[in-house]
Chains A and B, each alone.
Chain A
Amino acid sequence: MNNDLLFDFNVDKAAKTVYITREFNAAQSLVWDAFTKAELLDQWGAPAPMRAKTKYMNFEVGGRRFYAMISPDGQERWSVQEFTSITPKTNFKMYNAFSDKDENRELPGSDWDYNFSEQNGITKVDIVIYNESFERLEKLLEGFKIGFTMTLKNLEELLATLS
């Protein structure tokens, strides 16, 4: 992909906070849609060969997205995202927690803060994740594990089928 696009990933262990910054070669309104519309989120929101499936999404303050990450062997890991603040095209905040398939949440979860800004046709997304504990972070990763064993080649093939 475009290697000129910024990707920053920093962890402040003491503050239990993860900072992620990424630039995208697209207009802010399109990137905003990719992060806030279920049909687009499901196309990129899980690292291949995992896939994301949104059961429903109410993108409004107090609304929820209920979705699963599904592994190739069909295992589902459900999560509930509750939107706590929305400033269209610029910022949204949510509270993310794992749940069972009936939407019963396992608390505590983590706080997510997304910021969007555009300059010269490049959109920058800043994500701040505050985790109550490392164990939450560990759980966040559990669902992804299969993804790591994929070779880069397999991954590229999968990505090619997406485009």
Chain B
Amino acid sequence: MKQDIFQAIADPTRRAILTLLAIQALTPNVMAEKFDMTRQAVSKHIKVLYECELIKPEQSGREIYYHFNAKKMQEFDHWLAQFRQNWETQFNQLDHLLTTIKKQK
């Protein structure tokens, strides 16, 4: 099942993991240590973040390092910017309409 990016970011632990990964790529074991969590708990968070493409795995020797996928976050911000743009457009239309109505009165 595809994970929802909003749900992924809503969790404070996952936000903390992302913040950490934005600084450097980490293995699941190191993440578990840093957050004082079981390896199992970390795996769950990794799964959610991976499924919505916020992190990317990279094999290095016998270890898997997870990287922060900045592009996905940008995509999300891009959507929001468009949403904002829509509102701006509509509100400008409303400005026009209000001016027209006031003139008619």
Contacts and interface: CB of A to CB of B under 8 A. Distances in A.
Interface of A: 1-2, 5, 7, 9, 11, 13-16, 18, 20, 22, 24-26, 30-31, 34, 40, 43-48, 131, 133-135, 137-138, 140-141, 144, 147-148, 155, 159, 162-163
B47 interface: no
A94 B94 CA distance: 20
B82 A7 contact: no
Contacts of A15: 10
A13 B6 CA distance: 7
6 contacts: A13-B76, A16-B10, A22-B87, A148-B82, A159-B96, A162-B93
Interface stretch (B20-28, B34-42, B62-70, B97-105): B97-105
A48 B93 CA distance: 8
Ordered nearest first, which 7 A-B pairs have the shortest CB separation? Answer: A134-B6, A47-B89, A44-B93, A26-B98, A44-B94, A9-B84, A133-B4
